[in-house]
Structures are given as structure tokens and as C-alpha cells.
Amino acid sequence: MKFHPKGTQQAPAAKTFPSISPEYMTYITALFPIPALTVVPPAPNSS
């Protein structure tokens, strides 16, 4: 995963979202007892 200068505003989400791995899903699910997709999308950044 390379850093894209264009996506500086939402770099963390932009780098992770397109390539969500099972490990990442498990990591998020372990931290939050809610569907991982609820916390992954960069919607809060847009608002």
C-alpha cells in the first residue's frame, strides 16, 4: 500500500478501504463489537 499525495485528506481510510483484508476485518471486529463496515467507511471525514 503506497501513500497517494492526492488522498492526503483521508489517507488512512483511502489506503485501507480499497484493500480490506480478513486480518483487518478481524482486527476491527475485535475492537468494536459492531459490523466492521460501520466504522471503516470515511463518511465522518466527508461531513
pTM tops 0.75: no
Task: Give the position of cell 471486529.
Answer: 29
Instruction: Give the pLDDT score at 30.
Output: 74
Residue 44 pLDDT: 57
Cα 5 from chain centre: 17
DSSP H stretches of helix in 1-47:
11-16, 22-31, 43-46
pLDDT tens per residue, range 3-21: 555 555 555 555 555 566 7
| Rounded Cα gap, residues 33 and 47, in angstroms | 24
**What is the radius of gyration, based on Cα positions, of the chain?**
11
Nearest Cα to 12, choosing from 4, 28, 33?
Answer: 4
